[in-house]
Amino acid sequence: MDTLECIKTRRSIRKFTEQPVEFDKLAKIMEAGSQAPSTGDIQNWRFILVTEKALIHDLYNHCFQQEVVFNAQAAIIVCGETDSAERLYGLRGKRLYTVQNCASATENMLLAAHALGLGACWIGAFDEDKVSTVFGIPENARPHAIVAIGYPNENPTKQFKDLAKCVYFNSFGSKIEDLHLVIRDYSVEWKKNLDSGKQQGKRGLKKVHHHLKKFLAKANKSNMKSVMEKPKK
């Protein structure tokens, strides 16, 4: 599966089979997470891999009993370690960059899981204090996300928002008409042409009808005339 295909077909999976996930696949997922971009390349994420059923059950309780966590065969708690970020970038490093670094690692893991034929879901709703206590997360680290993983037992679909609705050009709010031409999606233009061709075709046909009617009326008139007129000798 190529990268764009992987991005496009990844979905949040919340139902898993009971098949355990092989350790080497979990290792590949975490490796993908650790290869994400980070501010100044500080790689200040820390991953806690949870596979024990009892601990997954604890996690489920601290994730407001979300079924997806209960069903997961494994979970990865993505923590941000704030010391290096704060030392290098101050409050912005601690508050913003660490969150972003962990988010980029989390997305990498979701994509890796999908590429490996697994299902995964990003869990953000959990009791941070409880998770920190149960999993021994120190003061200078914070759990940012939990990735629930297993073999998928559902195949959800989704509607993507129109790209043109979220893309502005050069300043916030300024849109471009015919974005599809900019991104070279000519299918939209083909359809437009086809539709306008059909419309023109309909208009053209109407005109032909109109002229034909006029012509026939005229022809009829002159035929009648020729019948009424006496043939010239």
Q: Contact positions toward ligand FMN, by CB under 6 A?
A: 11-12, 14, 66, 68, 121-125, 158
CA distance 23 to 27: 6
When the beta carbons of 157 and 171 are compared against ligand FMN, the nearer one is 157
Chain residue whose CB lies nearest ligand FMN: 124
When the beta carbons of 54 and 125 are compared against ligand FMN, the nearer one is 125
Q: What is the DSSP letter of 41?
A: G
Tell me the closest approach of the beta carbon of residue 205 to ligand FMN, in angstroms.
Answer: 47
CA distance 60 to 70: 5
When the beta carbons of 14 and 94 are compared against ligand FMN, the nearer one is 14
Tell me the closest approach of the beta carbon of residue 7 to ligand FMN, in angstroms.
Answer: 10
φ, ψ of residue 43 to 5 degrees: the values are 45, 50
CA distance 26 to 75: 9
Helices 98-115 and 23-34, packing angle to 10 deg: 140
Tell me the closest approach of the beta carbon of residue 60 to ligand FMN, in angstroms.
Answer: 12
Map tokens 């990735």 to a residue.
Answer: 147
Tell me the closest approach of the beta carbon of residue 206 to ligand FMN, in angstroms.
Answer: 48
**CB-side exposure of 5: number of CA atoms within 13 Å?**
3
Rounded to the nearest angstrom, the gap between the alpha carbon of residue 165 and the centroid of all alpha carbons in its chain is 14
Tell me the closest approach of the beta carbon of residue 147 to ligand FMN, in angstroms.
Answer: 10
Tell me the closest approach of the beta carbon of residue 120 to ligand FMN, in angstroms.
Answer: 9
Tell me the closest approach of the beta carbon of residue 163 to ligand FMN, in angstroms.
Answer: 15
When the beta carbons of 48 and 103 are compared against ligand FMN, the nearer one is 103
The residue among 152, 149, 151 whose CA lies nearest residue 29 is 149
11: Cβ contacts below 8 Å, ≥ 6 apart? 119, 155, 156, 157, 158
When the beta carbons of 121 and 131 are compared against ligand FMN, the nearer one is 121
Question: Strand runs (DSSP E) across 86-202, as ranges?
Answer: 119-123, 141-150
**CA dist list (Å): 173 to 46, 167, 181:** 38, 8, 19
When the beta carbons of 159 and 170 are compared against ligand FMN, the nearer one is 159
When the beta carbons of 88 and 134 are compared against ligand FMN, the nearer one is 134
